A and B are shown apart, each in its own frame.
Chain A
């Protein structure tokens, strides 16, 4: 058998296993209840929550993009590690906050949460549209990532178009069948494959090309010093101010990303999320491997046009075909799991906050959510074929756009008197600033992440509006300041704070 057949065979085996695992997760599930599908019946324990959250954060961008980034720009790629660790710390507080509120009121994601908090269904619909616009590019990015991986490990035998289609089909099949719990199960396979293959590559590459780990580090330190500090070899764009502002912004955004929120709400208890926040940061250690390998690739395969292939090109010529197949499977699963959850949350948000609002459609929220989940995938797939570059460019601003929802989703739960009108105008101002800076090629602006600039303006508008005209919502719109024990409530809150921070 030739190499391509072997590695494609191995890859196919893993993909079939993923589909089987994903579909099996649907056994014993209630087939009507939306929460059973959208947030796994709010029943995931610490292990499944950890695996799912790791599965969502470690996307094909981490696998390919981190290596590609460090190949081109050097150590600034480690902003990923910084923001994820900061995001976990934030999630110790925000995860249980969102969990408790959603659990109490039967909510499924940020859109119905906002609608409930402000007693404003229209606002839920607005948030659903905004979130979708900024999430769709991320789905397309995963489809593209999967295509790149498959084309590479099949030694070119499988074209990009076919692999895009495979990515779409596999993720739709299991997410439609079993929802969030299915993603958690596929994440188990994915995380094991990713950890094992990264460890193998991390041992293999330095041995093979540099005579060991010390040899690689010595050559990096003597010949590539610019890669090892900020701002890196390509000028000032990704300097220290950018690194700091991006890590802070993304760290804050992590807890309101609709995919993270789905993971939070899927947890069995608030305490599960606190444990998750404590353990998951260790997973970030893995991200150092692709960053180092990307730098190593500057010696082995210099001058690549598509830097995202840095890691694969480096190992493709040297590794046995079956191992390349396994590595390809890790890359493909890293695209499929997050992509499936992104589609699921778009479906959930549209069903809960737009299509399923009407009394006549309210009973059909689950099929509606599944329909939109399918539709979101179709749109992203179509865009991948028709306008491959537009969405990839947009995906850069996914976090910067979603960041503008922070006041409406999180601040609103901590600050009773926060003005809704102010936060909505703030959101619009923030998004306008982000778009203006990105379109005019000014992101980062003076070295600072455009999303952070937008968020500062957003918060300023929200604060001023609240000072001028504070809201005065009834108590039941606010989270109860009890101990969010996450277990059946026996103690009702005694005194309430007056709505200040």
Chain B
């Protein structure tokens, strides 16, 4: 189930950016784009999360196999 799927390590990205960064990000200053820093950081983390999942999928042989199977089926129709 998990063998040869090294790219799944990217799925640890969201917990790391949201949580491991908290001790540093838990502050009001500096204000970025009008947002207090903690809120700005959480917005950044929210935008990065889908990117991490995308990176996980990009290197995932299961994703690639499923894509190939989908294309093969689309060709048949």
Binding site for B on A (CB under 8 A): 75, 78, 81-82, 85-86, 88-90, 92-93, 96-97, 213-214, 217, 220-221, 225, 228-230, 240, 243-244, 247-248, 251, 269-271, 274, 277-279, 281-282, 284-285, 288, 292, 413-414, 479, 481, 483-487, 497, 501
In the bound complex, do residue B26 and residue A278 qualify as a contact, i.e. CB atoms below 8 Å apart?
Answer: no
Chain A positions within 8 Å of B26 at CB level: 229-230, 240
By beta carbon, the residue of chain B nearest A271 is: B66
Task: Tell me, in angstroms, the Cα distance from A230 to B2 when the chains sit together.
Answer: 36
Given A89-B13, A92-B11, A414-B2: A214 and B52 within 8 A (CB)?
no
Chain A positions within 8 Å of B22 at CB level: 230, 240, 243-244
In the bound complex, do residue A485 and residue B69 qualify as a contact, i.e. CB atoms below 8 Å apart?
Answer: yes
The 8 Å CB contact of B18, one of A85, A220, A413, A483, is A85
Task: Tell me, in angstroms, the Cα distance from A282 to B22 when the chains sit together.
Answer: 21
Question: How would residues 26 to 67 of chain B score, 1 for a CB under 8 Å from any chain A CB and 0 otherwise?
Answer: 111001001110110011011101101110110001110111
In the bound complex, do residue A271 and residue B36 qualify as a contact, i.e. CB atoms below 8 Å apart?
Answer: no
The 8 Å CB contact of B19, one of A97, A247, A479, A481, is A247
Chain A interface helix/strand/loop/mixed: helix
Given A229-B26, A281-B49: A78 and B39 within 8 A (CB)?
yes
Q: Report A478 CB to chain B, min CB distance, Å.
A: 9
The 8 Å CB contact of B43, one of A221, A269, A288, is A288
Question: How would residues 1 to 26 of chain B score, 1 for a CB under 8 Å from any chain A CB and 0 otherwise?
Answer: 11100001001011100110011001
Chain A positions within 8 Å of B19 at CB level: 82, 243-244, 247-248
By beta carbon, the residue of chain A nearest B3 is: A497
Q: Report A243 CB to chain B, min CB distance, Å.
A: 7
In the bound complex, do residue A225 and residue B50 qualify as a contact, i.e. CB atoms below 8 Å apart?
Answer: no
Given A221-B31, A271-B70, A483-B61: A85 and B14 within 8 A (CB)?
yes
User: How many residues of chain B have a CB within 8 Å of chain A?
Assistant: 42
Given A82-B19, A251-B15, A284-B46: A89 and B3 within 8 A (CB)?
no
Task: Tell me, in angstroms, the Cα distance from A405 to B17 when the chains sit together.
Answer: 27
25 A-B pairs with CB atoms under 8 Å apart are A75-B38, A81-B42, A85-B46, A89-B15, A89-B53, A221-B28, A228-B28, A229-B27, A230-B26, A240-B23, A240-B26, A244-B22, A247-B15, A247-B18, A251-B15, A278-B53, A281-B49, A281-B53, A285-B46, A413-B1, A484-B62, A485-B69, A485-B70, A497-B1, A497-B3
Given A89-B49, A221-B28, A270-B66: A230 and B34 within 8 A (CB)?
no
By beta carbon, the residue of chain B nearest A96 is: B62
Task: Tell me, in angstroms, the Cα distance from A284 to B14 when the chains sit together.
Answer: 13
By beta carbon, the residue of chain B nearest A216 is: B34
Chain A positions within 8 Å of B50 at CB level: 88, 278-279, 281-282
Given A82-B18, A85-B45: A92 and B56 within 8 A (CB)?
yes
Q: Report A95 CB to chain B, min CB distance, Å.
A: 11
Given contacts A92-B11, A414-B1, A497-B3, 7 further A-B contacts (CB under 8 A): A228-B36, A229-B28, A247-B18, A271-B66, A271-B67, A413-B1, A483-B66
In the bound complex, do residue B65 and residue A483 qualify as a contact, i.e. CB atoms below 8 Å apart?
Answer: yes
Binding site for A on B (CB under 8 A): 1-3, 8, 11, 13-15, 18-19, 22-23, 26-28, 31, 34-36, 38-39, 42-43, 45-47, 49-50, 52-54, 56-57, 61-63, 65-67, 69-70, 73
Q: Report A439 CB to chain B, min CB distance, Å.
A: 28
Chain B interface helix/strand/loop/mixed: helix
Task: Tell me, in angstroms, the Cα distance from A480 to B36 when the chains sit together.
Answer: 48
Task: Tell me, in angstroms, the Cα distance from A271 to B57 when the chains sit together.
Answer: 10
Task: Tell me, in angstroms, the Cα distance from A486 to B65 when the chains sit together.
Answer: 10
| Chain B CB within 10 Å, residue with most, of A82, A217, A279 | A82
Q: Report A97 CB to chain B, min CB distance, Å.
A: 7
Given A228-B28, A240-B23: A486 and B11 within 8 A (CB)?
no
Chain B positions within 8 Å of A243 at CB level: 19, 22
Chain A positions within 8 Å of B66 at CB level: 269-271, 274, 483-487
Task: Tell me, in angstroms, the Cα distance from A288 to B47 when the chains sit together.
Answer: 12
In the bound complex, do residue A89 and residue B28 qualify as a contact, i.e. CB atoms below 8 Å apart?
Answer: no
Given A92-B57, A479-B1: A221 and B14 within 8 A (CB)?
no
Chain B positions within 8 Å of A82 at CB level: 18-19, 42, 45
Closest 4 CB pairs of A and B: A483-B65, A85-B49, A228-B36, A281-B49
Q: Report B26 CB to chain A, min CB distance, Å.
A: 5
In the bound complex, do residue B62 and residue A278 qualify as a contact, i.e. CB atoms below 8 Å apart?
Answer: no
Q: Report B28 CB to chain A, min CB distance, Å.
A: 5
In the bound complex, do residue A75 and residue B31 qualify as a contact, i.e. CB atoms below 8 Å apart?
Answer: no
Given A88-B53, A481-B1, A483-B61: A75 and B14 within 8 A (CB)?
no
Chain B positions within 8 Å of A288 at CB level: 39, 42-43, 46
Task: Tell me, in angstroms, the Cα distance from A92 to B36 when the chains sit together.
Answer: 31
Given A229-B28, A248-B15, A270-B66: A481 and B3 within 8 A (CB)?
yes
